[in-house]
């Protein structure tokens, strides 16, 4: 039996990341894949990257927040990025090191592998045709939507993130978003697990464990995280705002 874990969009939320990795380690996962956006939004960018990069069995996919750190923010500031988001990104980058930037810059945009004859693909979200970003998010996607979005991906199951709500849809492949780990209702840490036996039979489960998020508002305040009021309202409320449930 081969068992792997999948997390996405940790978004610099250390309590949620600690809880998810501890649960996956306890399950004896062969390795864990993070499908992008390790940083941005949350108050713990350096601690989360340290934890992720120090884990012995983690593989990484590039997300948009990771890309802005590795290769620089769009220049000039685009109209869709508010001033407070611009300041937030610059704050995040100042708390990280040049060595971290070099490491993150090597993360791939996609990963495809085979586990006991089961094809598994990972990405943050489909890239736009120009390769300079990601295509617009499809909210509440149907099987046909996902077949079209991921037509370039090959596998029996495709894991992705970027849009924060959890999703599991069967189309040409099974398309699974484990749900954002770092931008969720307080106290929840979400992840997925895939187990494949020697005969190629596989089981996929979406899971969550509790985490202690009581200090998150304090950490945002003490660290003077730009846009903290907006972030706490949208990304850490009882439920993420449907209009901004991505980042």
Q: Where are the domains of the chain?
A: 2-244
Residue 5 has pLDDT above 50, yes or no: yes
pLDDT of residue 157: 98
Instruction: For Cα atoms 82, 162, 60, give the angle at the middle one, nearest 5 degrees.
Output: 115
d(CA 112, CA 101): 24
Q: How far is residue 87 from each of residues 10, 41, 81, 91, 227, measured CA to CA in Å? A: 20, 11, 10, 6, 8
CATH topology of domain 2-244: Purple Acid Phosphatase; chain A, domain 2 (3.60.21)
Six token digits for residue 147: 């077949």
Tell me what the pLDDT averaged over the chain comes to.
94
Write out pLDDT tens, residues 95-131: 999 999 999 999 999 999 999 999 999 999 999 988 7
pLDDT of residue 246: 55
Average pLDDT over residues 131-159: 94
Write out pLDDT tens, residues 31-86: 999 999 999 999 999 999 999 999 999 999 999 999 999 999 998 999 999 999 99
Six token digits for residue 15: 């309590």
Residue 156 has pLDDT above 80, yes or no: yes
Average pLDDT over residues 18-27: 97
d(CA 177, CA 133): 19
Residue 186 has pLDDT above 80, yes or no: no
Residues 6+ apart with CB under 8 A from 56: none
User: What secondary structure letter does DSSP report for 137?
Assistant: P
What stretch of H or E contains 206? strand 202-210
Average pLDDT over residues 133-147: 96
Residue 243 has pLDDT above 80, yes or no: no
What percent of the chain has pLDDT above 90?
88
Do 59 and 31 touch, CB atoms closer than 8 A?
A: yes
């Amino acid at each position: 039996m081969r068992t792997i874990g999948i997390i996405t969009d940790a978004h610099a939320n250390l309590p949620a990341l600690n809880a998810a990795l501890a649960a996956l380690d306890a399950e004896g996962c062969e390795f864990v894949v993070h499908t992008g956006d390790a940083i941005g939004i949350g108050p713990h960018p350096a601690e989360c990257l340290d934890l992720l990069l120090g884990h012995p069995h983690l593989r990484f996919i590039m997300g948009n927040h990771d890309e802005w750190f590795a290769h620089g923010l769009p220049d000039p500031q685009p109209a869709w990025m508010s001033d407070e988001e611009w300041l937030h990104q610059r704050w995040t980058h100042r708390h990280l090191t040049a060595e971290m930037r070099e490491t993150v810059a090597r993360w791939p945009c996609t990963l495809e592998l085979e586990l006991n004859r089961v094809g598994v693909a990972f990405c943050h979200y489909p890239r736009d045709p120009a390769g300079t970003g990601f295509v617009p998010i499809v909210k509440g996607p149907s099987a046909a939507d996902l077949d079209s979005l991921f037509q370039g991906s090959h596998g029996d199951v495709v894991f992705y993130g970027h849009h924060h709500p959890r999703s599991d849809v069967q189309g040409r492949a099974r398309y699974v978003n484990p749900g954002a780990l770092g931008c969720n209702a307080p106290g929840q840490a979400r992840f997925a697990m895939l187990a494949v036996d020697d005969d190629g039979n596989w089981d996929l489960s979406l899971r969550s464990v509790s985490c202690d998020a009581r200090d998150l508002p304090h950490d945002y305040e003490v660290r003077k995280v730009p846009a903290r009021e907006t972030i706490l309202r949208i990304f850490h409320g009882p439920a993420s705002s449907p209009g901004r449930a991505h980042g």
